[in-house]
Structure 1
Amino acid sequence: MENLVKLQKQWFEEGHTRSYDFRRKQLKRFKQMLITFEKPILRALRYDLSKSEYEAYAGEIAVLKNEINEQLKHIKQWMKPEKVKAPFTHIGSRNYILKDPYGLVLVIAPWNYPLQLSLAPVIGAIAAGNTIILKPSEVTPTVSWVLKKMINQYFKEEYIAVVEGGKEVTEQLMMQPLDYVFFTGSTSVGKKILAQASSRLIPVTLELGGKSPAIVHKDAVLHLAAKRIVWGKFTNAGQTCIAPDYLLVHHTIKNELLAHIKSYIQMFYGDQPVKNGKYVKIVNDHHYKRLKKHLIASEIIYGGEVHDGNQKIEPSILDGLNSHEALKEEEIFGPLLPVFTFSSLEEAVSMVKAKPKPLALYYFGENKEEQMFITTSLSFGGGCINDTLYHTLNPHLPFGGIGESGIGMYHGQASFETFTHTKSITNQSTKFDHRFRYPDSKTGLFFIKKILG
Structure 2
Amino acid sequence: MNPYAGVVSSLRTAWLAGKTRGAEHRVSQLEALGRFLEEQRGPILEAMASDMRKPPLEAELSEILLVRNEVTHALNSLSSWMKDEFVEKNLVTQLDEAFIRKEPYGVVLIIGPWNYPLHLILVPLVGAIAAGNCVLVKPSEISRGTEKLVAETLPGYLDKDCFAVVTGGPAETTQLLENKFDFIFFTGSAQVGRGVMAAAAQHLTPLALELGGKNPCYVAEDSELESAAARLVWGRCFNAGQTCVAPDYVLCSPATQEKLLPALGRAIARFFGPEPRESPDLARMVSDRHFQRVRALLGSGHVALGGQTDEAERYIAPTVLADVQPSQPAMQEEIFGPVLPIVTVPGVDDAIAFINSRERPLAVYVFASDSKVVQRVLERTSSGGFGANDTLMQMTLLSLPFGGIGSSGLGSYHGRFSFDTFSHRRACLLRRPGLEALNSMRYPPYSERKMGLLASVSQVKRKGGCSLQ
Q: TM-score, length-normalised on structure 1?
A: 0.97
1:447 to 433, 436, 453: 453
Shift of 1:155: 1.8
Match runs of 1:168-207 below 5 Å: 168-207=171-210
Shift of 1:351: 0.8
Take 1:10 and 1:121, find their aligned partners in 2: how far apart are those partners? 22
SS at match of 2:33: helix
Take 1:441 and 1:324, find their aligned partners in 2: how far apart are those partners? 66
Is 1:287 paired with 2:287? no
Shift of 1:324: 7.9
2:398 is aligned to 395
Of residues 252-261 and 345-354 in structure 1, the stretch that sits farther from structure 2 once superposed is 252-261
Note the residue ranges of structure 2 that are not aligned, 5 or more in a row.
Answer: 462-469
Q: CA 1:72 to 1:259, structure 2 compared with 1: closer, same or farther past 3 Å? A: same
Is 1:102 paired with 2:105? yes
Is 1:138 paired with 2:144? no
Q: CA 1:363 to 1:322, structure 2 compared with 1: closer, same or farther past 3 Å? A: closer
Is 1:68 paired with 2:39? no
SS at match of 2:366: strand
1:58 is aligned to 61
Match runs of 1:203-242 below 5 Å: 203-242=206-245
Is 1:262 paired with 2:268? no
Take 1:423 and 1:338, find their aligned partners in 2: how far apart are those partners? 47
Q: CA 1:297 to 1:362, structure 2 compared with 1: closer, same or farther past 3 Å? A: closer
Q: Aligned AA for 1:117?
A: L
Is 1:81 paired with 2:87? no
Match runs of 1:32-431 below 5 Å: 32-296=35-299, 298-321=301-324, 325-431=328-434
Aligned residues: 453
SS at match of 1:391: helix
Is the Cα–Cα contact under 8 Å of residues 23 and 126 in structure 1 kept in the other structure? yes
Shift of 1:323: 8.3
Shift of 1:322: 5.2
Take 1:221 and 1:278, find their aligned partners in 2: how far apart are those partners? 25
Q: Aligned AA for 1:180?
A: F
SS at match of 2:159: coil
Shift of 1:260: 1.2
Note the residue ranges of structure 1 that are not aligned, 5 or more in a row.
Answer: none
Shift of 1:107: 0.5
Take 1:322 and 1:300, find their aligned partners in 2: how far apart are those partners? 13
Is the Cα–Cα contact under 8 Å of residues 297 and 323 in structure 1 kept in the other structure? no
Q: CA 1:155 to 1:449, structure 2 compared with 1: closer, same or farther past 3 Å? A: closer
SS at match of 2:203: coil
Q: Aligned AA for 1:73?
A: N
2:467 is aligned to none
Take 2:428 and 2:22, find their aligned partners in 1: how far apart are those partners? 20
Take 1:47 and 1:215, find their aligned partners in 2: how far apart are those partners? 35
Shift of 1:403: 0.3
Of residues 392-401 and 80-89 in structure 1, the stretch that sits farther from structure 2 once superposed is 80-89
Once the two structures are superposed, residues 11-68 of structure 1 have per-residue CA deviations (whole angstroms, 9 ceiling, x without a partner) of: 0111111111211111111101111111001001001110111111011111100111
When the two chains are superposed, the root-mean-square deviation of aligned CA atoms in Å is 1.4
Shift of 1:366: 2.2
Of residues 96-105 and 334-343 in structure 1, the stretch that sits farther from structure 2 once superposed is 334-343
Q: Aligned AA for 2:137?
A: L
SS at match of 1:422: strand
Once the two structures are superposed, residues 281-305 of structure 1 have per-residue CA deviations (whole angstroms, 9 ceiling, x without a partner) of: 1110001111112214541011001
Is the Cα–Cα contact under 8 Å of residues 4 and 158 in structure 1 kept in the other structure? no
Take 1:436 and 1:322, find their aligned partners in 2: how far apart are those partners? 69
Is the Cα–Cα contact under 8 Å of residues 298 and 323 in structure 1 kept in the other structure? no
Q: Aligned AA for 2:328?
A: E
Take 2:246 and 2:179, find their aligned partners in 1: how far apart are those partners? 34
Q: TM-score, length-normalised on structure 2?
A: 0.94
Of residues 244-253 and 96-105 in structure 1, the stretch that sits farther from structure 2 once superposed is 244-253
Take 2:145 and 2:224, find their aligned partners in 1: how far apart are those partners? 42
Of residues 311-320 and 201-210 in structure 1, the stretch that sits farther from structure 2 once superposed is 311-320
Q: Aligned AA for 1:364?
A: F
Take 1:46 and 1:324, find their aligned partners in 2: how far apart are those partners? 36
1:436 is aligned to 441
